[in-house]
Amino acid sequence: MDILNYTEAHHEFRQRLRAFLEKEVIPNAAQWEKDHIVPREIWNKIGQQGFLSTSVAEEYDGLGEDFLYSTIVCEEMASTGQTGLAATLHSDVVVPYIEEYGSEELKRKYLPGCVSGDIVTAVAMTEPGAGSDLSSIQTTAVEEGDEVIISGSKTFISNGIHCDIVIVAAKDPAVENPYNALSLYIVDDGAPGFEKGEQLEKMGWHSQDTAELFFNNCRIPKTNILGEKGFGFLMLMGKLQQERLVCAMGAVYGAQKCLDGIIEYCKKTSDASGKPLSKSQAVQFALVEMAADVKIGRTFVDKLIAEHIEKKDIKTETSMAKFWMTEMTNRIIGRSLEIMGDFGTVETNPLLRGWRDARVTSIFAGTNEIMKFIISKLMKL
């Protein structure tokens, strides 16, 4: 029996999305890599087809659907072999902050655009001197009348160039306890004092518009706070379960794509004796081991998806999944390139892009070392 029970509506959604990606994304992915950015209009196209922020309620122009729709989007996006159109980041990491913590005014102002693709979102936590340790954030937010003045900088922000709004983690410098000082604010592109830096050149994710963001006495309405002042740390912690689950999902779906690719390659490519590589026992054993890793990983992830839908507390398990799946994916892609030999080093090899893109997954959304530290505390070690 399958762990996840997809309905006919789910299958129909998947087929529509797959057809869209085959037409609008996959043929253009290589060019986007060369351009080092996706065109802004692709966000409007995917939004207009109903593939963004599928959980948003109908009253805000969303579909109001369950998390399995997000699972489908994540899996099908992984099949495209590109990372520039970061739909899952937008829909399942950033927008949920507005859904859960935004005032009614903020929901009506922003959610319809998040669904349609007219609004691209980003979340800004990481700073030049603060990564996984949120208590080290130095960006400040000071209230002045009906406004909040934000000062500081953020770096490695995905969707940093295209973003129309960014959720910024900033602290009240008057509050001594760093965890009680944090709040979350929505900053609109074009807000006075908000500037986007140059797009960062990276080893992978070439078409993903990752950038530095600068807040030079940036003024926003006080009403743009998410939730209550001083509850930023708790809100971030509350959303990390889904963020880490999404990371694990993307990793295992990427590993599956790699496995499918290397198996097809080994069946079609001959060794020096003229036999397909897949007939070599050494290659067979390697492929079997990789297939077992993917099967085990996918079973674990499917179980976590089901439990997440049931709203169970699985912070320990999603942290485990995040580090194990990302390390597994890196291991599988690296081994696949070794099997390919010289072709494993050629830019026309699609797995080479996958190898570059996969490397950062063990670093973002909390490094894997941080995952292990968190798990050790949850295990009371």
How do the pLDDT tens digits run along the chain, 381 residues long? 689 999 999 999 999 999 999 999 999 999 999 999 999 999 999 999 999 999 999 999 999 999 999 999 999 999 998 899 999 999 999 999 999 999 999 999 999 999 999 999 999 998 887 666 677 889 999 999 999 999 999 999 999 999 999 999 999 999 989 889 999 999 999 999 999 998 999 888 899 999 999 999 999 999 999 999 999 988 988 888 999 999 999 999 999 999 999 999 999 998 878 899 999 999 999 999 999 999 999 999 999 999 999 999 999 999 999 999 999 999 999 999 999 988 888 888 888 888 888 888 888 878 889 889 989 988 888
8 A C-beta contact, residue 62 and residue 24: no
Considering the chain, tell me which residue range(s) the CATH 1.10.540.10 domain(s) occupy: 8-119
Pick the CATH number of 123-230 from 3.30.1540.20, 2.40.50.100, 2.40.110.10, 3.90.700.10: 2.40.110.10
Alpha-carbon span 92 to 94, nearest angstrom: 6
* DSSP character at residue 174: T
Alpha-carbon span 313 to 363, nearest angstrom: 23
Q: What is the pTM (predicted TM-score) of this model?
A: 0.91
Cβ neighbours, 10 Å, residue 184 = 27
Report which of 321, 336, 151, 155 is spatially closest to residue 252, judged by C-alpha positions: 321
Q: Please tell me the predicted confidence (pLDDT) of residue 353.
A: 87
From the number of C-beta atoms within 10 Å of its C-beta (0-12, 13-18, 19+), residue 276 rates as middle
Alpha-carbon span 159 to 170, nearest angstrom: 19
Helix (H, G, I), strand (E, B) or coil at 85: coil
Cβ neighbours, 10 Å, residue 55 = 18
Q: Please tell me the predicted confidence (pLDDT) of residue 131.
A: 65
The CATH number assigned to the domain with range 8-119 reads 1.10.540.10
Alpha-carbon span 366 to 220, nearest angstrom: 28
Among residues 147, 243, 317, 347, the one annotated as catalytic is: 243
Which one-letter amino acid corresponds to residue 66?
A: D
Handedness of CA 366, 371, 373, 374 (dihedral sign): positive
Q: Please tell me the predicted confidence (pLDDT) of residue 366.
A: 81
Q: Please tell me the predicted confidence (pLDDT) of residue 45.
A: 97
Alpha-carbon span 156 to 124, nearest angstrom: 8
* DSSP character at residue 130: B
Considering the chain, tell me which residue range(s) the CATH 2.40.110.10 domain(s) occupy: 123-230
Q: Say yes or no: domain 234-378 is CATH 3.40.50.1240.
A: no
Q: Please tell me the predicted confidence (pLDDT) of residue 344.
A: 85
Alpha-carbon span 104 to 106, nearest angstrom: 5
Which one-letter amino acid corresponds to residue 348?
A: T
Return the bridge partners of 186, or none: 167
Strand intervals (E) in the chain: 121-124, 140-144, 147-157, 165-171, 182-188, 194-199, 211-221, 225-226
Considering the chain, tell me which residue range(s) the CATH 1.20.140.10 domain(s) occupy: 234-378
**Dihedral angle at the C-alpha atoms of 233, 205, 261, 346, nearest 10 degrees?**
-150
Alpha-carbon span 153 to 170, nearest angstrom: 10
Is residue 243 part of the annotated active site? The answer reads: yes
